[in-house]
Structure 1
Amino acid sequence: MSRKGYFKNKGKRKKDIREILPSILIVCEGEKTEKLYFEAFEVPNAHVRVEGEGRGANVLLEAARKYLKNDEYDQIWLVFDKDEVKDQDFNNAINKIESKGYNAIYSNPCFELWYLLHFSFQQSTLSKEECLKKLKSKIPKYEKNIEDMYERLKDKIEVAIKNAKKLEEQKKDINSYSKKNPYTNVYKLVEELRKYERK
């Protein structure tokens, strides 16, 4: 990936001061829902590329490789759900992603749990259908692929981060990723992107 540089004059001496911005690749399982959400972050202090694959957790790493053929990235984040993926396949996918040094960002049962945490803490095990039903009680007209979810929820983002961290603390002794429900670590990617927002 190309890096942008700039030149400044200091007195009579010209100096080459190169501003190197971090490059971040985000590859999402969902073709639109997650992609639209992360693309809405205004991060002028980083080069961010967001791609939606429409492929499951167990093949997401292979799907991401096409973006790594021609470009180099400082950070690689793969975003996916437990959803209908078999427990062992889900666990294997996370282990494989992390063994490559990439960031595995996953939600159980689904990405919408992250949205739901903007409104309230969730403790009871949830199916995807139950999660969507709860979210629609908060956002009656919610449908997948809404383009302005980030704008709708950004004033509650600190609540979501707090709730997600609380879930993580509660589930820390569960060794199987697939058994952590409800659970999402989307907050880690959100916190990273917020580092590069316009101050």
Structure 2
Amino acid sequence: MATEINLQQLTSKIFVMPRERDEFFRESNTTEREKIFVLAFEGNITEEKYFSEFKNSNKFNDELICLHLLKRRSDDTNSAPNHVFDKLKREAKDEFNFKNGDELWMIIDTDRWKNIPKIIETCKGLENMFVAVSNPCFEFWLLLHIKDIQEYNKEELELLFKNKKIRNKNYVERKIIEIVGSYNKTNLKTDDFLPNIDAAVSRAKILDQAHEEYPAKLGSHIYKLIAKLRKVETE
């Protein structure tokens, strides 16, 4: 059951002056960029590590984009939908003077969030806010880096979709381990995945042939975000 929204928490920063755009860039040690992307994650470690390493890689388009990751304290384990959603709005939309083209993204999974249609409808009514849903979990996005799931049979795909946990690993995590040998949510080895990020984008696009607002079956819309952040290769 989702936790109740704390009204004091919602209003605690109303009187804080929004930070200016140039102040944000100075802290990021960057020159002026055309766009700011702010990301908020359901997870507390894995997603942050993935996007941090992507940001520091030669695949990230840092000539045009400044990427800011909303970080939770290590003791903040509350990943309830309204907590993450409120965090994105409060710490990004209320603290920064955004231009119209800047974007705020929520990175969420279907295996924990049961009110995704409502979240998407809310974001559609808020300027600059977007959602990238993975079904069933963020690890499925990672799996797309290293496996064309169309090679799996129907039974295997169904097991991926159900993503049941066996002891301390869910099914998608176990498939990752089969391919790369190990997987640790708290110590993500991004070198196993980031070199194949273009393959992940291509595979995710194929799974999104119906162009749904979020994947009702196996899929990940993180590819939509990556496509905006990815450096365009030149001949």
Considering the TM-score relative to the shorter chain, is it more than 0.5?
Answer: yes
Please give the range of the TM-score, normalised by the shorter of the 2 chains.
Answer: 0.7 to 0.9
Cα distance in 1, alignment partners of residues 119 and 140 from structure 2: 20
Equivalent residue number for residue 130 of structure 1: 171
Superposition pairs of residues 43-192 of structure 1, within 5 angstroms: 43=60, 44-45=62-63, 46-53=65-72, 54-67=78-91, 68-73=93-98, 74-86=102-114, 89-101=115-127, 102-122=129-149, 124-125=157-158, 126-128=161-163, 129-149=170-190, 151-169=191-209, 171-172=210-211, 177=214, 180-192=216-228
Query: Structure 2: how far apart are the matches of 1:167 and 1:56?
Result: 27
TM-score normalised by L of structure 1: 0.77
Amino-acid identity (%): 23
Asked whether the equivalents of residues 98 and 104 of structure 1 are also in contact (C-alpha less than 8 Å), the reply is no
Q: Which consecutive segments of 4 or more residues in structure 1 shift more than 6 A?
A: none
**How far apart, in 1, do the equivalents of 2:220 and 2:81 lie?**
14
In 2, the alpha carbon distance for the partners of 1:21 and 1:146 equals 33
Secondary structure class of the residue paired with 1:117: helix
Separation in structure 2 between the aligned mates of residue 62 and residue 196 of structure 1, nearest angstrom: 33
Contact 1:58–1:92 under 8 Å retained in 2: no
Identify, as 1 or 2, the structure richer in strand: 1
Residue of structure 1 equivalent to 2:14: none
- Name whichever of 188-197 and 112-121 sits farther off: 188-197
The whole-number CA distance in structure 2 between the counterparts of 1:24 and 1:196 is 17
User: d(CA) in 1 for partners of 2:83 and 2:120?
Assistant: 11
What is the rounded CA distance, in whole Å, between the counterparts of 2:104 and 2:226 in structure 1?
14
Which 5+ residue runs of structure 1 have no aligned equivalent? Answer: 6-17
Amino acid of the structure 1 residue aligned with 2:35: P
TM-score by length of 2: 0.66
Quick one: distance in 1 between partners of 2:69 and 2:32? 22
> Within 2, Cα distance between the matches of 1:130 and 1:148?
19
Kindly provide the CA deviation profile for residues 101-126 of structure 1, in whole angstroms up to 9, marking residues without a partner as x: 31111101000001111122335241
User: Which deviations, in whole Å up to 9, do the C-alpha atoms of 1:75-129 show, x marking residues without a partner?
Assistant: 111111111332xx12211221232131111101000001111122335241332
Q: Number of paired residues?
A: 178
**Paired position in structure 2 for 1:11:** none
- Amino acid in structure 1 at the alignment position of 2:122: K
Tell me how far 1:147 sits from its aligned partner.
4.1
